[in-house]
Structure 1
Amino acid sequence: MVSLKSANCDIALIDGPNIDGVLGQILQRQPISEDRPQWDVVRECLQRILGIQVPPMFVIDGTHSNERAYKFYRFLRSAQFRLERRYPDLLLGHNSDPVDDFILGELDRVCDLAREGSRPRVVVVSHDHVYAPILQTILKFDGKVSIVGFHEELSPALLNLRSYGAELYDLEKDFRAFLKPLPRWYRGGSRRW
C-alpha cells in the first residue's frame, strides 16, 4: 500500500468498470480495445495537466478476468499504473460493489488526512455519484478534487461539486485519449466542442 503522506496525499483512482460501461453506452455496444482510452495518454495527462506524480490506481472487478484481460493488466503495469483487482465480499451481500468499496475506502483515508491538515490532490476517473459526498468533504477541508470522464455522462452529484471548487476534465476533449472521435451527441443533435 502506498503511503499517502509520503506521496504528498496525491491520489488518482480510475473506476475501470464505470468507464468501460459508460463508453459502451456511448458506442451502443461493447467496446473493443481500439475504442477504449489510450491509458498511457491518460496517465501522461494526469501528470502534465493535473500534476499527479504518483502511479494512478486502476481499479477493476477481478471476477471478470480472462486471457484478454490479463494482457490489458500487463499493459497497465508497464504503463506505470497500479492495478487493483477487487472481488466481492460475499459476507456483505450481493449489492456490494467491490470497486466502489475500494475507491471509497481510499477516499476515506485521504479525507482523514485532509481533516488533519494535509492538502490532498485527488483525481477520480468515473461518472458514479457514490463518490460525491466524500469528495465534497475533501473539498471542504481544502483538498483539490478533479473529476475525469465524459461531461454529459457525469452524475448530477459530481457535476454539483464544481460549486465547491472541483475541476472537471473530459477524457476525449481535454485529455485527447481516443484514437478516433466518439459518437457523442448533445442537445440539438450536434456535437458541441
Structure 2
Amino acid sequence: MDPSSGPGERTTYVLVDGENIDATLGGSILQRRPMSEERPRWDRVMTFAEHTWPQPAVGLFFLAVNGEMPYPFVQALMALGFRPVPLSGDAGEKVVDIAIQRTLEALKDRSADVMLLSHDRDFVPQVGALCDGRRVALVGFKEFRSKEYAPLADAGLQFIDLEYDVQAFTTRLPRIRVIPIAEFDPAEFL
C-alpha cells in the first residue's frame, strides 16, 4: 500500500520534469530566461490535481543538480508540498529522464493515477503502459508536446494545458494557439 494514503485510498502522483517545463517555457514560449512572475505556480498544480481527481496527491519534482544543491528552490518546493528529487550523474546522462522513467515503471504496480508534466517523448512507453484503466494525464503546453503521445488518447491518456486548464500562471503567456470561436475575445488583439 502507498504510505501517503489511507486504507483503500488512491493517490495521484504528480511527476514534474522541471528541466523540460522550464526549457519549453524559456526557450520556446518566452525565448529568454523566465522571470519569477512568469514561472508556474506549483501550488496551483497540486491544487488542480487534487480537485480534478478528488484524492490525495503526491508531487515529485525532478531536477538535475550539478554541483551545489539549489536550497532556496528545494525549500520552496517542500513548502508547497512537493518532494524534490535532486539527481546527479555522468556528463551527458539524462538523469531526470532516467529517474522519471523508473518512477513511471514503479507506479505500474501501485493503485495510483498519474499526472506527468513534460513534453518529452522519452516517456511514451512508460505512459502507454500506465494507460491500463487508471487515470493518466500529460500536462504541459499542448503545442509543444511530442506527437508520439497522440495515439495514447484512445487508451485513455488525457491532455491538460498547464496555462489554460491548470491556470498555473499569474500572467498571460505570449502563446500562439488556435482559439475556439466561443473563447475568442477581440480585446486580446486590440
TM over 0.5: yes
Identity of aligned residues (%): 29
2:153 maps to a residue whose letter is R
Between the aligned partners of 2:48 and 2:117, the Cα distance in structure 1 is 12
* Aligned equivalent of 1:85: 86
Residues 1:122 and 2:114 are matched in the alignment: yes
Q: Offset of 1:187 from its aligned partner?
A: 6.1
- Where do residues 86-125 of structure 1 align in structure 2 (5 Å cutoff)? 86-88=87-89, 90=90, 94-111=91-108, 113=109, 119-125=111-117
Residues 1:169 and 2:156 are matched in the alignment: no
Q: Offset of 1:158 from its aligned partner?
A: 2.0
* Aligned equivalent of 1:154: 145
1:45 maps to a residue whose letter is F
- Asked if 2 retains the 8 angstrom alpha-carbon contact of 1:13 and 1:57, the reply is yes
- Identify if the C-alpha distance between structure 1 residues 4 and 135 changes in structure 2 by more than 3 Å, giving closer, same or farther: farther
* Aligned equivalent of 2:127: 135
2:79 maps to a residue whose letter is S
Q: Give the TM-score of the pair, scaled to structure 1.
A: 0.82
Q: What per-residue deviation string (whole Å, max 9, x for no partner) do you get for residues 113-161 of structure 1?
A: 1xxxx6531110100111111111111x322211100010110012332
Q: Offset of 1:55 from its aligned partner?
A: 2.2
2:101 maps to a residue whose letter is L
RMSD: 2.4
2:146 maps to a residue whose letter is S
Q: Give the TM-score of the pair, scaled to structure 2.
A: 0.83
* Aligned equivalent of 1:15: 17
Between the aligned partners of 1:151 and 1:52, the Cα distance in structure 2 is 25
Between the aligned partners of 1:65 and 1:53, the Cα distance in structure 2 is 32
Q: Which runs of 4+ in 1 moved over 2 A?
A: 2-10
Question: Per residue, is there more helix in 1 or in 2?
Answer: 1
Between the aligned partners of 1:79 and 1:29, the Cα distance in structure 2 is 26
Residues 1:182 and 2:182 are matched in the alignment: no
Q: What per-residue deviation string (whole Å, max 9, x for no partner) do you get for residues 163-187 of structure 1?
A: 2111111111001111110000136
